């Protein structure tokens, strides 16, 4: 099979108008913090137990098209010895892999960050493909302050995302491009919109320079929301401003936009996704989700590391997946949370 056909087959499986992507790619440090919050000891075994429980949820494939895994999970098996990527595939869920190696300060741009991990990426992707991964994800992070992101921050982060995406496509792996504009801060929703527009324009300029085929990638952006300190915006305002900026900055060739939840509660993220799909006739892309905490938080709080909570954990996890599936159709209602 040609690389072009590999990429198209994966896009076809990930973009079907009704399912989103589960982000289960928390680093060891991040998942340790989330486990600590619910009193669960963090270890490779407890990570395996939890992620295996999620992926084996009956019916999950009705609402989830793909799952982003952490490298540790890609090599783990369930209690019956099946590799966890195979557990996902058995439900019609495409396995993917987080390939960046975390972030740090960007020299020359105080307050901006840069993500590491390009060294050896081609070889790592070849190995991940052998373990079942068909798509990848790379995240760049943009804080909003009075002077961030700087011009250097915009350019450097966009360049990293484009180089990563080009490497992925060269070996037949669909890249998810994730420029996350952080919700932390006291900025207004108008400031958020301006920054997101700058970020997305710089990213697509870089993708063009590097010859990335837009039809064979996915975008995982932030929704346009006010900073956490500034309070909340109504879902209708979030949707209007997010779609306005997307239409200005993102080419129609991109097949799907899978939003991150970025510090929103599960209910907020679902309501905002629903509001976007109420006006989706103005969008040339699928408007979907790639949530982590907004899908997992209620499940993790229910599980708490106890086997006797497994059924209840899977039930609440499946409910959140179904509610976001409904939000993709513009059919979610707040009363469904009861």
- The runs of H, that is alpha helices, within the chain are 3-14, 28-37, 44-55, 71-74, 84-89, 121-130, 151-170, 189-209, 235-249, 266-278, 293-303, 310-328
Choose among 300, 264, 292: nearest CA to 34.
Answer: 300
Report yes or no: 128 and 176 within 8 Å, Cβ to Cβ: no
Active-site annotation holder among 26, 180, 220, 240:
220
The neighbour count for residue 128, using CB atoms within 10 Å, is 25
Q: Does the active-site annotation cover 215?
A: no
Report yes or no: 319 and 62 within 8 Å, Cβ to Cβ: no
Determine the Cα–Cα distance for residues 72 and 83; give it in Å rounded to an integer.
12
Choose among 170, 92, 91, 90: nearest CA to 136.
Answer: 170
Determine the Cα–Cα distance for residues 259 and 263; give it in Å rounded to an integer.
12
Q: What is the DSSP letter of 308?
A: G
Determine the Cα–Cα distance for residues 49 and 296; give it in Å rounded to an integer.
14
Q: Does the active-site annotation cover 297?
A: no
Active-site annotation holder among 178, 180, 268, 297:
178
**Catalytic positions, please?**
178, 220
């Amino acid at each position: 099979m040609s690389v072009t056909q590999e990429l198209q087959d994966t896009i076809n499986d990930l973009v079907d108008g009704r399912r989103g992507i589960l982000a289960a790619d928390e680093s060891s440090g991040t998942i340790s913090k989330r486990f600590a919050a619910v009193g669960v000891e963090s270890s490779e075994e407890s990570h395996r137990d939890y992620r295996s429980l999620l992926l084996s949820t009956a019916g999950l494939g009705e609402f989830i098209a793909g799952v982003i895994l952490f490298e540790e999970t890609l090599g783990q098996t369930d209690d019956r010895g099946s590799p966890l990527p195979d557990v996902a595939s058995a439900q019609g869920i495409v396995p993917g892999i987080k390939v960046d190696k975390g972030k740090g300060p960007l020299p020359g741009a105080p307050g901006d960050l840069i993500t590491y991990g390009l060294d050896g990426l081609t070889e790592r992707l070849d190995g991940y493909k052998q373990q079942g991964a068909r798509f990848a994800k790379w995240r760049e992070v943009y804080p909003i302050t009075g002077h961030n992101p700087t011009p250097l921050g915009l350019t450097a982060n966009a360049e990293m995302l484009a180089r990563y995406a080009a490497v992925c496509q060269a070996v037949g792996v669909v890249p998810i491009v994730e420029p996350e504009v952080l919700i932390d801060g006291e900025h207004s929703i108008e400031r958020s919109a301006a920054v997101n527009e700058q970020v997305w324009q710089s990213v697509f300029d870089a993708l063009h320079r590097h010859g990335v085929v837009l039809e064979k990638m996915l975008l995982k952006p932030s929704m346009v929301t006010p900073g956490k300190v500034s309070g909340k915006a109504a879902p209708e305002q979030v949707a209007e401003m997010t779609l306005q900026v997307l239409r200005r900055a993102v080419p129609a060739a991109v097949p799907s936009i899978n939003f991150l939840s970025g510090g929103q509660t599960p209910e907020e993220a679902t309501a905002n996704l629903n509001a976007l799909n109420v006006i989706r006739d103005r969008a040339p892309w699928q408007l979907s989700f790639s949530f982590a905490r907004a899908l997992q938080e209620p499940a993790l709080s229910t599980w708490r590391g106890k086997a006797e909570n497994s059924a209840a954990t899977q039930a609440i996890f499946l409910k959140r997946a179904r509610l976001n599936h409904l939000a993709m159709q513009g059919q979610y209602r707040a009363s469904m949370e009861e």
